[in-house]
């Protein structure tokens, strides 16, 4: 069975940004919060089937996997 391709979303707030990775098969994912001082918070998430509607309602926009992966590489596990 083919592995699902994750989808990526981003929203920029006044002084920080949030990036979200969602696996559409099982609704698992990762949330990254990028603070103005460069600190990045990583949270493993379990979403529900309404996540895509929720992200749209919360004004998240699609973004690229490369941007998400660059920020993810800067986190400490």
Q: By the 8 A CB rule, do 8 and 67 touch?
A: yes
Q: Which positions ≥6 away from 38 have C-beta within 8 Å?
A: none
pLDDT in tens, 6-60: 999 999 999 999 999 999 999 999 999 999 999 999 999 999 999 999 999 999 9
| 65's tokens | 């996997």
- Residue 77, pLDDT > 80, answer no
Tell me which residue of 42, 24, 22 sits closest to 32, measured CA to CA: 42
- Residue 4, pLDDT > 90, answer no
| 55's tokens | 């992200």
> Alpha helix (H) ranges present in 30-64?
51-57
Give the model's pLDDT for residue 3.
Answer: 72
Instruction: Specify which residues 19 forms β-bridges with.
Output: 10, 32
Give the model's pLDDT for residue 45.
Answer: 97
Give the model's pLDDT for residue 1.
Answer: 58
């Amino acid at each position: 069975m083919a592995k699902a391709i994750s989808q990526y979303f981003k929203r920029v707030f006044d002084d920080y940004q949030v990036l979200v990775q969602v696996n559409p098969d099982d609704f698992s994912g990762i949330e990254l919060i990028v603070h103005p001082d460069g600190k990045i918070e990583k949270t493993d998430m379990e979403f529900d089937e309404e996540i895509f509607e929720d992200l749209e309602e919360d004004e998240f926009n699609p973004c690229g996997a490369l941007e998400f992966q660059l920020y993810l590489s800067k986190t400490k596990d």
